[in-house]
Amino acid sequence: MDLRKYRELAEKGGEMGEAIEELLAEIEQLQKAKMPKLLNATETCDVLEISIKNLSHARKTKFFPEPFTQIGTRPFWLESEIYDYRAIKQGVKKEDGDG
């Protein structure tokens, strides 16, 4: 059944209709919500300008974010956290170069 059919049922009223209406409102709100952008290992390496072979080493370094989620054995990171990490990493390199 699609949402239109549920909307028709909700319009019939009653306690069940009210419950369906509440659920429909929640579904519509969730449909409008934006999922954060996730990066797979290859995309993460592209942002950090490292090879896929060096990713496991980078993951062991200080401040490297934990994966947001994992599908099977494949990690996915929040894009914003990878860019934050890159900024921290670049800041450390600049400080090292200043001395």
pLDDT digits (tens, 9 = 90+) for 24-70: 999 888 888 888 999 999 999 999 999 999 999 999 998 999 999 99
CATH topology of domain 38-98: Multidrug-efflux Transporter Regulator; Chain: A; Domain 2 (1.10.1660)
The answer to whether 82 touches 90, Cβ cutoff 8 Å, is: no
Tokens 């390496």 label which residue? 45
Q: b or e along 21-39 (b: 16 or more beta carbons within 10 Å of the residue's beta carbon)? A: beeeeeeeeeeeeeeeebb
From the number of C-beta atoms within 10 Å of its C-beta (0-12, 13-18, 19+), residue 50 rates as middle
- Phi then psi for residue 87, to 5 deg, are -65, -40
Q: Does the model's pTM come out above 0.75? A: no
Q: Where in the chain is the domain with CATH 1.10.1660?
A: 38-98
Does residue 93 surpass a pLDDT of 70?
no
